[in-house]
Amino acid sequence: MQFNIGVQRELHPGTVLTVDYIRNVGLHSLLGYDTNHVGDARYLNVNAALNAISTTNNAFGCGTGTDAASINCAINAKATIFDYAGNGLDSGYGFLGSLGAPATGRTPDTGAAFPGINPSVGANQMLFPIGRSAYNGLQMKLTSQKTDPVPGMKSVNFVVSYAFSRLSAMARDGDFINNAFSFRNSAVPRKSEQSTVTA
């Protein structure tokens, strides 16, 4: 869906101001959507998270406990969140490369802490016609034409233009199939501003 509304006014002979508002809405573009919701915080596997914490703490010589004392011991020994993520306190994308736990020789309880709805499946990207984008733009242009401005010059034409626009889309590029990774809000707003002067 697209439309524009514009006004044009001659400010004085040879000088014209044009202002246009443009709106373009794209609907039903294909968007890859992970139906297993790998990485979604709603599907925390508590046993896998505790196993990742225990494994990390043990690697830093703090035992296999998952209590605050063991975690503080590991942190004091320079453990970082990347160490915990490397042992499974991460999404199935980050820890298992989007595969399910059995495909990597693990059980769901030794796999990723955020494996999705079914920890045995891994990522399941499916295409749905759910993409939406909206473009709003304000364009202004001032043109002026002068005849015989100076001796030896028959005519000169000046153009000054300015554009301010905003694109809000569920994908970074609507020309290609994109994957949705946010299960809460996948809109990506972007603003652009452009002005040109030509003579």
User: pLDDT digit of tens for each residue in the chain (199 aa)?
Assistant: 999 999 999 998 889 999 999 999 989 888 888 899 999 999 999 999 999 999 999 999 999 999 999 999 999 999 999 999 999 999 999 999 999 999 999 999 999 999 999 999 999 988 888 888 899 999 999 999 888 777 888 888 889 999 999 988 887 666 666 776 666 554 444 444 444 444 3
- Same domain flag for 159 and 102: no
- Same domain flag for 28 and 52: no
* Count: domains in the chain: 2
Distances (CA, A) of 33 to 36, 57, 90: 9, 35, 19
- Same domain flag for 152 and 185: yes
Long-range contacts of 96-99 (CB under 8 A, 24+ apart): 96/122, 98/38, 98/122, 98/123, 99/123
Range of the domain at 161: 2-32+127-198
- Same domain flag for 119 and 44: yes
- Same domain flag for 58 and 116: yes
pLDDT of res. 164: 94
Please tell me the distance from the alpha carbon of residue 116 to that of residue 156, in angstroms, as a whole number: 65
Please tell me the distance from the alpha carbon of residue 9 to that of residue 17, in angstroms, as a whole number: 5
- Same domain flag for 56 and 117: yes
